[in-house]
Each structure stands twice: as C-alpha cells, then as structure tokens.
Amino acid sequence: MKNMKKFLALLSTLLAVFAFSQILVSSLNGVVKFFLSALLLFLSGMALQKLLNIEGEKGLLILKTEKGRKFLDEVARWNLKFWRNLAAFGMVMGFGASSILLFKNIPEKTFKISMLILMLSVLFVLPFVLPTATEIINLPVKLYFTRVATTQSALFETLIYYTVFFSIAIGGFCIAGIISFIGYGLIVLLGVGMKLLSLLGTQMGSATALKGITPGAMPIIPGVNLPFFEGILSLAILLFFHEVSHGVLARVEKIKVKNSGLVLFGFLPIGAFVDPDEEQLQKSSKEKQKNVLVAGSSANFLLSLIFFLLFILYQLIILSNNPPPPSFFKEHVMIYDVVQDYPGYGVLKSGMIIKEWNGVEINSLDDFSKASNMTKENDTVNIVTDAGSFSIKAGKEGKVGVRVFSFTNSTTGNWMKELSSQEGKWWVDFLYNFLGLTFVLNFLVGTVNLLPIPPFDGYRISSLVIKNKGILKALAYTMVFFFVLNLLPWLWQ
C-alpha cells in the first residue's frame, strides 16, 4: 500500500510538472498564468500531503529535519564577533542613523563602516535596483529609461533624490520601504476615489483615473514572472542564507534551534526555515532577540552587495569582449502628454513616437528641441510618428502642445539575449539573469522583511523597540492597509 501511494505521488508530481510547464509556455495573460499555476501547485500539494502524510496545509508542505543543528553550531563557533557585527550591519542598513538610538549595543566602528556602506549603496546600488528588476522580472509594467524635457521635472527629480537620500540616511531602507508603500498606496487610493467620483457623474471625477496605475507589490514565482531556472537558483541562495543566518545568530546567543527544513508549495520549493526555541528566544534579552531577528535581512543585504559587484563586473567583461553596435541603443522621443486647448490636442496622442518634425529627423531630445524651436506661430507643422503623419497649425509661440521624453528600449539585458542566441553562448543571458536576480531579490527581501507588518521580522523588531502596544498595533494595521492598497491594482490589470 505504501509503495502504491509513493508511486501515485510520483505520478501526480510528474503530471503537475508537465502541466506547469505547459502553462508557462502558453500565450495566456500573465495574471491568468499566475492563478492557474497557483491552483495547480495547491492541488499538487494537497495530493502529496495526503499520499505521503507530509505535515502542511492548503497546498503548503513542511519538510523538517534536525540534522542541520550540528552545522549551525559549527558555523556559529567560527567567529562570534563577526556574526554579531553582521547583525549590527543589518540594523544600520535597515534603520540608518537612527539604529544607534534604537539598538544600544552597536559597536562604534561597525556603525561607522555600515553607515558608509549604506550611503554608498544609496548612491551606486539603489539606482540599479528598479531598472534591473523591471528588465528581468516580468512585472505588470515595463519602465522606460527616460529623460523629460522640462525644467520643472528636473527640479522635481532633484527634490525626490535628496528626499530619498536623507530619509535613508536617517531611517535606512526600512523607512524608505514604508514611504514607498504608503506613497504608492495613496496614489492608488486617489485613483480609486477619482474613478468612483466619475461613476457618480461628478465633475471632480476622472474615468481614466485608474489608467496606468499598476500593482506596487506582487508575488514572485519562477517560470511565471521569474526566469524558471535562474529564479529557482536565486531564491534557493536567498532563502538558504536568510534562514541559516537566523539559526547561526540564535546559536551565537545560546538559543536552542529545534529543527530546520524546507517549505514547498506543491512540488515547488518556496522557502526554508530555521526554528529557534520560541520560548527561550522571548525570555532572552532584547538585544539578543534583535540580533536573531535581524540576521536574515543582514545576510540578504550582504548578499545583495556581493552580487551587485559580480553583476556589474560580469557586464563589463561581456561588453568589453562583445560590444554592441552604436545603433543598438538608439534613442527615441515619445509624447507623454498633449496639453488641452493647444492645436495638437485631440490629434496627437500620448505614446506616439516622433520620427520627423518638419522634415528634420528626430533621434534625441536635442533634435526635438532644435526643430520645435524653429516653429513660428501659425506655421504648418508636418509631424511624422510611428502612428502616422499629421499636419498641424502651430499656436502661440509656435507651440503644438506636446510634452515629450526620450527613451531607449534597447538595454544591456536585451543585448545579452541577442548574444545568447549565438551558437555556444547560451550561458550569457543565463548568468546575467541569475546574477541580476540574486542582487535584486536579496535587496527587496531584506528591505520588505524589516517592515512592521505581521508576520515579518520587522514587526517583531518593532515590538521590542515600541513599548506602547497601541502605537505598535496602529502602525501594523496602517502598513497592512497600505500593503493591500499596493496589491489592489491587480483587480483591473
């Protein structure tokens, strides 16, 4: 009977893997793919749980072992000072300069070095996170690398830059994550409010208010929105070091580790865990608890920096040996808005790429500025776009009313894909995706894990710092509310 159940478990898993692969290569919408994949993994998990009597529920399987405890003890004994400094490094990266007030036992030297790394990360690492994520991860929106042709936008970007810089310096990546979730949540809330007002027929409403508002948070699944093999490898590294760091710091602080193991969703590994003795942990000093709780994010931040350097070095090596032709990174000028009451309103549309302006080929913002500045009032402007040609009579000061930005959709990642299509170079794009994903995912997980949202480690760290339980609950409810708001746009994707 047992052998029959094992055979049925193997057969059901093989069928689930086959069905999963067919969903991935199908032409279905990304959101539909996600829900079908989740349903398939749920059914696979339920079948394995029943056939093999594995601990778990609702498709999640928990595989426990006690064999890792000896390994954790050996690693912890290697260098106690290093591990405690690693925890302090994570506190500074997570909470910035305020960490010296929140966590009393951070060594001065460690604090200074960690603050220097934090500031260098803001200047040189953070600008790569979102572009790399949007290029490798299948997000609901793809970003263009833009340069807007207005003085006001430049001032706004400068203001945003310094706001981000000083907020991270003071409160670390945790405060940056809180500001991001709340800020984008307010944008979603405003869009929903404007849409509801339009449905009620009020003039203050906008029927297009939800257009362009995409999810601010999303689950990540290899094969669905991550490259399959690179995604599994990156997540395995992330989860392994995150959980091992929790276990090592627990043993450093003389807290028992009961067991460790893997978490599966169906047949797909989605997590790892180290299970410290919760009762002993809660009875230990607050400083010891903080060290154990922050350890996972500390490891993620360190890994993110290491893989960032590897990612940049790899690109430099590949590009130096396989330089793309200059035409590959051709710049385009796109209309992002047409001002009402100007001649172009109702004729030209946002999203059109301008190719010619009165016979002048437009390949950059400089080309557009020179050509449009030569236009006089009442001149007939012949505009060639990717959507057709238009003749428009210029208005005051020779203006048509278009606002534009420049972009290139040819990126380093696209060039890596082209190289990988060549014989014997399949590994070029694979390594690019793997290094980039490991860099980005470790940064994102390290940051999000420190947010004061149950059941993240950041909530438990906040409970050790914030003595007033009412304030702690209000903060947690607020963050959960804005977290849900960031997910809300999935309803109209």
pLDDT at residue 213, rounded to an integer: 77
Same domain for 395 and 485, yes or no, is no
CATH of the domain at 358: 2.30.42.10
One domain, residues 78 and 180: yes
On whether the pTM is more than 0.85, the answer is no
Q: Is residue 402 part of a domain?
A: yes
How remote is the C-alpha of 205 from its chain's centroid? 31
What is the per-residue pLDDT for 148?
Answer: 43
| Straight-line distance from the first to the last Cα atom of the chain, in angstroms, rounded to the nearest whole number | 47
Task: Tell me the pLDDT of the chain averaged across its residues.
Answer: 84
423/450 Cα distance (integer angstroms):
44
- 278 in a domain, yes or no? yes
94 band by pLDDT with thresholds 50, 70 and 90: very high
Count of helices and strands (H, E) across the chain: 16, 11
pLDDT digits (tens, 9 = 90+) for 122-169: 999 998 998 898 888 876 655 444 444 444 455 666 777 778 888 999
Please write the tens of the pLDDT for every residue from 5-61.
Answer: 788 888 888 888 888 878 777 777 666 777 888 888 888 888 888 888 887 777 777
- For the chain, the domain total comes to 3
Question: Among residues of the chain, what percentage have pLDDT more than 90?
Answer: 28
User: Both 213 and 85 in a single domain?
Assistant: yes
CB atoms within 10 A of CB 489: 23
The whole-number average pLDDT for the span 93-109 is 90
Element (H, E) at 381: strand 380-385
Q: Are residues 275 and 214 part of one domain? A: yes
Buried b (16+ CB within 10 A) or exposed e, 281-318: beebeeebbbbbbbbbbbbbbbbbbebbebbeebbeeb
Residues 280 and 373 in one domain: no
| Whether 403 contacts 336, CB under 8 Å | yes
Q: List the domain range (segments joined by +) for residue 254.
A: 69-143+164-321+425-492
Are residue 122 and residue 208 in the same domain, yes or no?
yes
Confirm whether 315 is domain-assigned: yes
Dihedral (C-alpha) 30, 26, 16, 270: value to the nearest 10 degrees?
Answer: -30
Considering only CA atoms, which of 339, 338, 353 is closest in space to residue 406?
Answer: 353
pLDDT of residue 493: 61
Assess whether pLDDT exceeds 90 at residue 196.
no
pLDDT tens-digit readout, 230-241: 988 998 899 889
Give the per-residue pLDDT at 212. 67
pLDDT value of position 171: 93
pLDDT score at 421: 87
> How many angstroms separate the CA atoms of 19 and 370, rounded?
56
| Residue 127 and residue 99 share a domain | yes
Q: For residue 351, what are the CA distances in angstroms to 32, 133, 289?
A: 26, 23, 52
- Among the listed ranges 88-92, 201-205, 306-310, 446-450, which one has the minimum average pLDDT value? 201-205
Whether 211 and 358 share a structural domain: no
- What pLDDT is recorded for position 131? 85
Q: Examine residue 175 and state whether it is found in any structural domain, yes or no.
A: yes
My answer on whether 134 and 233 are in the same domain is: yes
Arithmetic mean of pLDDT, 421-433:
91
Q: For residue 264, what are the β-bridge partners?
A: 61, 269
User: Cβ contacts of residue 329 below 8 Å, gap of 6+?
Assistant: 408, 410
Same domain, 243 and 201: yes
Confidence of residue 1 (pLDDT cuts 50, 70, 90): low
Task: For residues 239 and 312, state if they share a domain.
Answer: yes
Q: Provide the 8-state DSSP code for 491.
A: G
Domain-located, residue 415? no
Question: What would the pLDDT profile of 432-465 be if each residue is shown by its tens digit?
Answer: 999 999 999 999 999 999 999 888 899 999 998 8
Higher-scoring residue by pLDDT: 266, 464: 464
Residue 347 φ/ψ, nearest 5 degrees:
-110, -60
User: Is residue 158 assigned to a domain?
Assistant: no
